A and B are shown apart, each in its own frame.
Chain A
Amino acid sequence: MSTLKPEINDQDHIQGDDSASVTIVEFGDYQCPYCGNAYPIMKEIEETFGHQIRFIFRHFPLANAHEFAFPAAIAAEAAGLQDKFWEMHDALYENQYRLNGELFDELAETIGLDLEQFQQDSSSEEIKRKIEDDFDSGVRSGVNGTPSFYVNGTKFDGGATDLYQMLKESAE
């Protein structure tokens, strides 16, 4: 059984209450179509189960297969430095159908980032390292493709729809 390594820590982007009973970690890639399909379902899970859910996203860009996956992860992290990681995360998935190298500045403006700062941060080594650390965590945790989900620290064998189903059944 594969487990999450390392555990959730202060480097993570976390949505929801610390007191939530279910912690979901997604390893995802902003260019992966399956992750794009999972995005609205994750939103629905968060809405349906509210305070019971804590959601964490870690990067797992398949950079050779998806040329914009790594730059998109950088954009999300750079937005994170201005406390807008989730805004960029959402914008990237909502605009996945037109993902390209020019999209990041546009999204940065849309969500109200300081553009100059965003561009400067986008070339930071620290951000690159953070994404590589996330990837490393995925590899160690047994991620075999994207998206991969972990529920309360254990790998969940299924996609977002299966996850929703499982939560619904266990809530009944």
Chain B
Amino acid sequence: MLEKGATAPDFELNATPDQKIKLKDFKGKNVILAFYPADWSPVCSDQMALYNEMLKYFSKYDAQIFGVSVDSVWCHLAFEENRKLHFPLLADFEPKGAVSKAYGVYDDELGESKRALFVIDKDGKIAWSYLSPIAVNPGADGILDALEELNKK
């Protein structure tokens, strides 16, 4: 897993069937990457549902959040619509898990991304990373602490 100080590997992933997100387009902004195993976990304990409620916190720190899993764009679209998510979910779908692998957070056995968080600073360097046990939603306090730390610089 990539640690603090490493350069965040660039990527280009679909957020919708016809929209691609390139990490390098977000230079000058803080970026939060939340890798997670799969769409459709129960809602009250769902990590994405929590982040959805926190978008104004993230924008206060000039940060954009992306969820990343190996689900396809169509699956992400249905999940976003069902859960009324207001931030992009990226499909690490083809080649499967390539970006998760680049960040060192792919589970070969399950064929899914691990549950991992990265905060990337405005220069594209990893400022904080965290690997959570697969069944444990890591919450958001770690992300906020990392963003706060970046703000102090």
Contact = CB atoms under 8 A, between A and B. Distances in A.
Interface of A: 2, 29, 32-35, 62-65, 135, 139-146
Given A64-B83, A64-B84, A64-B86, A143 B139 contact: yes
B52 interface: yes
Nearest to B139: A144
B50 A62 contact: yes
A65 B141 contact: no
B88 interface: no
B110 interface: no
B86 A35 contact: no
Given A144-B50, A144-B139, A32 B44 contact: yes
A148 B50 CA distance: 13
Interface string B57-94: 10000000000000000000000000111100000000
B98 interface: no
Contacts of B46: 145
A145 B42 CA distance: 10
A65 B45 contact: no
The 10 closest A-B pairs by CB, nearest first: A145-B45, A144-B139, A144-B137, A142-B141, A142-B139, A32-B44, A64-B84, A34-B44, A146-B44, A64-B52
Interface in B107-153: 136-141, 144
Contacts of B54: 139
A65 B84 contact: yes
A2 B57 CA distance: 19
Nearest to B84: A64
B50 A34 contact: no
B50 to A, nearest CB: 6
21 contacts: A2-B141, A62-B43, A62-B44, A62-B49, A62-B50, A62-B52, A64-B52, A64-B53, A64-B84, A64-B85, A65-B49, A65-B84, A139-B54, A139-B140, A140-B144, A141-B141, A142-B141, A144-B45, A144-B139, A145-B44, A145-B49
